[in-house]
Amino acid sequence: MLDIKLFRTNPDIIRENIKKKFQDDKLPIVDEIIKMDEDFRRAKQRADELRAMKNKISKEIGALMGQGKKDEAEEAKKKVGEAAAELAACEKESEELTEEIRRRVMIIPNIIDPSVPIGKDDSENVEKERFGEPVIPDFEVPYHIDIMESLNGVDLDSARKTSGNGFYYLTGDIARLHSGILSYARDFMIDRGFTYVIPPFMIRSGVVDGVMSFAEMENMMYKIEGEDLYLIGTSEHSMIGRYVDTINDEDALPYALTSYSPCFRKEVGAHGIEERGVYRIHQFEKQEMIVICNPDESNEWYDRLWQNTVDFFRTLDIPVRTLECCSGDLADLKVKSLDVEAWSPRQKKYFEVGSCSNLGDAQARRLSIRVKPKDGGATYFPHTLNNTVVAPPRMLIAFLENNLCADGTVKIPEALRPYVGGKDKILLPEKK
């Protein structure tokens, strides 16, 4: 959410940013906000004048009564009543305008970073760097579900009966691998100085409004019927919401946190939800990074966050690349965003396994998260950032394809072995 002062002082910056995001339909809203803000300030000024008038006349009434000037006192009381009625109308108008302004400001996109490439959609995202050498083995790599089924590790048919498409049962060594990867990710981030947190998996609508745009909410969130609660689509929502309506000491920043959670997503409009696989699903688990920091440090943290994901995947022998998201592919709250993509030997291309985002002060402003400077100056809004460490079972696709052996077994990189009982391989089940 942008500061209303920017609409007052430099609305052309906002208009140009809207054009860069190819959302020209929102341009008229800027003019609506400016007009409503003028009306709001006019109503507020009149309300201030009326309060001062009321106070002045109220003091005069006592003096008039003391002087025996009852008629004049009654006339003054009448003026107080008229002022009170007009004041109530001004206050009501101010409240209504405040709500209308906020509603419109909430759908205006955040100002993107100057480094963001300009493009209409994800087809114009820009590759930044590759890490590790992509390998195409000299044997055919099966579809990921076929690999899992050969290891007795997945049951989609039963999940379809119990829950529908987009759900799964993981079993045996694949289930253990799934849990092991999450445990390894937890310790990996703790070793890098992050504090481990398990947050609530449901949040109230007020927090939802603060952490994401309305369009994202409609496409992602499951609502609990009859309650003001939503299932989280990522732990970032709950983690940032933890600080709603707080004033934080500057010396306490940055908050560098890593959180585990299950994630639930509608995936409205997603292609492939009916496919036989675990790439796009309604339920998964994730280890996340969240940072709340001084605005001057947010770009530095942004680079540290995505590098953590790259380093994590490389310890598991998975080649990755980073992809800078263009302006048209950025969600409205984001200042900049970078995807981490893993190499798929079967498809001979990269696919997304995580996303790093800097949201500037948008979430902090919406949720009233403030910082108190150590020098005693005015409070300010911190910046918030988030990044995926790992999100199996999607990540399992990259893991299985890149660590598959010609005989159908799957090698376990050394870093992960302590989390899967010391195994160096997942073996094919013995035939009965």
Residue 65 pLDDT greater than 80, yes or no? no
Lowest average pLDDT, out of 34-48, 187-201, 264-278, 391-405, goes to 264-278
Confidence (pTM): 0.90
pLDDT in tens, 94-103: 999 999 999 9
Look at residue 195 in the predicted model and tell me its pLDDT. 98
Mean per-residue pLDDT for 293-300?
A: 97
Instruction: Name the DSSP class of 138.
Output: S
Confidence class for position 181, pLDDT limits 50, 70, 90: very high
Q: How far apart are CA 13 and CA 188, in angstroms?
A: 41
Lowest mean pLDDT among 48-52, 172-176, 247-251: 48-52
Rounded to a whole number of angstroms, the CA Rg of the chain reads: 28
For residue 267, pLDDT over 80 is answered with no
Q: What is the mean pLDDT of the chain?
A: 93
pLDDT value at position 365?
95
Cα(327)–Cα(332) distance, integer angstroms: 10
**Phi/psi of residue 346, nearest 5 degrees:** -70, -45
> 3-class SS at 140?
coil
The H-or-E segment that residue 202 falls in is strand 202-203
Give the residue-averaged pLDDT of 14-34: 98
Residue in 186, 161, 403, 153 with CA at minimum distance from that of residue 278: 153
pLDDT of residue 376: 86
Q: Pairing mode, if any, of strands 369-372 and 410-411?
A: unpaired
Of 307, 260, 308, nearest in space to 284 by CA: 260
Instruction: Identify which has the larger pLDDT, 84 or 118.
Output: 118
Kindly state the average pLDDT of the residues 395-399: 95
Question: Is 274 a residue whose pLDDT tops 70?
Answer: no
Residue 127: how many CB atoms within 10 A of its CB?
11
Structural domains for the chain = 4-105 (1.10.287.40), 122-426 (3.30.930.10)
pLDDT in tens, 120-175: 999 999 999 999 999 999 999 999 999 999 999 999 999 999 999 899 999 999 99
Residue 23: per-residue pLDDT: 97
Question: What integer is the mean pLDDT of 341-366?
Answer: 96
